[in-house]
Amino acid sequence: MSKSIGKVLGGAFLALFSFASSGQAELIVAVIAPLKIGTPFAAVGRQMKAGAEQAIADVNAERMIHNAAAVGRKLDPLVLQLADDDCQVTLGKTIANQIANQGVPLIVGHFCSSVSVEAGQIYKANGSLQIAPFSSMPRASSSSTLFRLTGTLSSQAGLFVSFVENLVQGNPDLSASTDVAIVVDRSPYGEELGREIAQQLKDAGVDTPTLPADDPKVFTLKENTKEAALETATELVSWGPEVVFLGGYHPEMDVLTGEMKSRLPNAKLFLSDANVTSTFVNGAAGTPSNPPVMIHSANPVPDLCGGNPAPANCAVKARIATRLGAGVDVEPSALFTYAAIEVWAKAEASQPDLWSVGSTLESNDFPSVLGLVGFQNGDTNDQQFLFFTWIGNKLTSFSP
């Protein structure tokens, strides 16, 4: 039996070292997520927690087998410590300082890009290794201590811009008559994504404005509230664009999506990757006749798990589903969190120096539930984003 003195307490992370009853050290893996029930991102936190718990269990089972075989060096077990940042920058920085000061070898998180960026600076200053499953902001990368499992913000913007290019390519009349609106919230993630899309549209020569009032127009919420989202929706509807991109987080994106569906039913609606959650879909997207198009990395959750042999990841999906309980489907966030711990553990197993695992991640590819994972300057080698929609409570490939 092991004894751990790390705990979650009122959103703060108190981490010391943990030792098994045999005296063998346990390697602490800190997972920071929005965990408090009833908050806007609690469903994501629940998925991250389940994915992390299963990854720890699976890695430790493999390490027990390895150690019993007495081949190579003995591998230390992992112990999970959870912290709740509530997607708040101030709280995230407090937790980051506590974790970094304790010398935790792996931090997995944060969900919100704005928190990942600020906390990442603290981890970097202390030499702590962070793997961010979801953060897609460019300035959150290019670090020797920060690794990301999803593509960059510019890659995400590029997929949307390619759609607009293909829509109007070779048709000047259509280009002139197709208005493009980019709507973002006040988060650093949303604002930078909006700027990136607008710049790429201009660089591509698509829908280039000749007057300040021309499109592509970027609408920024006055503040991150439902009331501000409604006000922006009214302004947007009065302009009447044919293509709308929403970049930011729910619940504000919930409001905007609902308004667009009812008041601009023929507009083609796109949503940024932060909204690929069942909470968002059940709250706003539903199953409309003109479904919103979601942009996300390749979906690692297998759809059907019948047949012999079963598709890859089915066994992992089943174990995570058991942890989530009846009525809760496994979502991509669970497997991205699982993969973060999985690839780090494989790198650590091949590297006797615990504090050189980052260089091992940079110089090798590792098999995982996401496929083969490798990094360059902290960014995943797989920069591909795809179009999806949500049908039958499942993330489904979609061609807009």
- Span 224-238, pLDDT tens digits: 888 999 999 999 999
What are 162's two structure tokens? 């390619």
Chain segment 242-264, per-residue pLDDT in tens = 899 999 987 788 889 888 888 99
pLDDT at 344: 98
Q: Is the pLDDT of residue 189 over 60?
A: yes
**Under 8 Å between Cβ of 256 and 233:** yes
pLDDT at 290: 58
Q: Are strands 106-108 and 25-33 parallel, antiparallel or unpaired?
A: parallel
| Dihedrals phi, psi of 146, to nearest 5 degrees | -115, 120
Q: How far apart are CA 108 and CA 148, in angstroms?
A: 10
Q: How far apart are CA 118 and CA 115, in angstroms?
A: 5
Answer whether CATH 3.40.50.2300 is correct for domain 2-151+308-382.
Answer: yes
* Strand ranges in the chain using DSSP code E only, listed in sequence order: 2-3, 7-9, 12-14, 18-20, 25-33, 78-84, 106-108, 130-132, 146-148, 180-184, 217-220, 243-247, 268-271, 293-296, 366-368, 371-373, 375-376, 379-380, 386-391, 394-397
**Under 8 Å between Cβ of 30 and 99:** yes
Q: How far apart are CA 26 and CA 4, in angstroms?
A: 9
Q: Mention the CATH class of domain 153-296.
A: alpha beta
Exposure string of 165-184, with b = 16+ CB inside 10 Å and e = fewer, is bebbeeeeeebeebbbbbbb
First to last CA, the chain: 53
- Helices 332-349 and 314-324: crossing angle, nearest 10°? 120
**Under 8 Å between Cβ of 98 and 47:** no
pLDDT at 320: 97
Q: Per-domain residue ranges for the chain?
A: 2-151+308-382, 153-296
Chain segment 67-124, per-residue pLDDT in tens = 999 989 999 999 999 999 999 999 999 999 999 999 899 999 999 888 988 898 999 9
pLDDT at 217: 82
pLDDT at 178: 76
What are 275's two structure tokens? 């909204």
Residue 184's beta-bridge partner residues?
Answer: 220, 247
pLDDT at 395: 79
Sheet holding 243-247, edge to edge: 217-220, 180-184, 243-247, 268-271, 293-296, 386-391, 394-397
Q: Say if 2-151+308-382 and 153-296 have the same CATH topology.
A: yes
From residue 14, alpha-carbon distances to 17, 18, 65, 101, 104 in Å are: 10, 12, 31, 10, 11
Q: Does the reported pTM lie above 0.85? A: yes
Work out the mean pLDDT of the chain and round it to a whole number: 85
pLDDT band at 337 (very low <50, low <70, confident <90, very high): very high
